[in-house]
Amino acid sequence: MLKGACLFQRLKFIHDWQPTDSQKLKFTKSDDASIGLCPCCKTTLEDHDHVLRCPSQVSTRYLELQDIRSSIEQRKSLAGPVLWTGLVHWLNQPNEPLSIDTSRYSGRTQLLVQQALHEQARIGSDKAFRGYLSLTWGLLENPHEVPTPYNKDPQASAWVISTLTNLGNFSKAMWKDRCTKLHYPNNTSFPSADLNAEIAHCYANPPDILASYRQLLNRPISKVLKSKRSAKTKFLPAYAAHSVAFLQSA
When pLDDT is averaged across residues 14-27 and rounded to a whole number, the result is: 73
Backbone dihedral region for residue 194 (phi beyond 0: left; psi -120 to 50: alpha; all else: beta): alpha
% of the chain at pLDDT higher than 90: 7
Per-residue pLDDT of 162-194, as tens digits, reads: 888 889 889 888 888 888 877 766 554 444 556
pTM for this model (two decimals) = 0.66
The predicted structure's pLDDT at residue 246: 46
Per-residue pLDDT of 28-46, as tens digits, reads: 777 777 778 888 888 888 8
Map out the domains of the chain as residue ranges.
12-183, 193-249
Closest CA to 226 of 181, 195, 184, 183: 195
Residue with the larger pLDDT of the pair 214 and 217: 217
The predicted structure's pLDDT at residue 61: 86
Q: How far is CA 54 from CA 37, 39, 43, 60, 174, in A?
A: 11, 10, 10, 10, 9
The predicted structure's pLDDT at residue 107: 87
Coil, strand or helix at 94: coil
The predicted structure's pLDDT at residue 28: 75
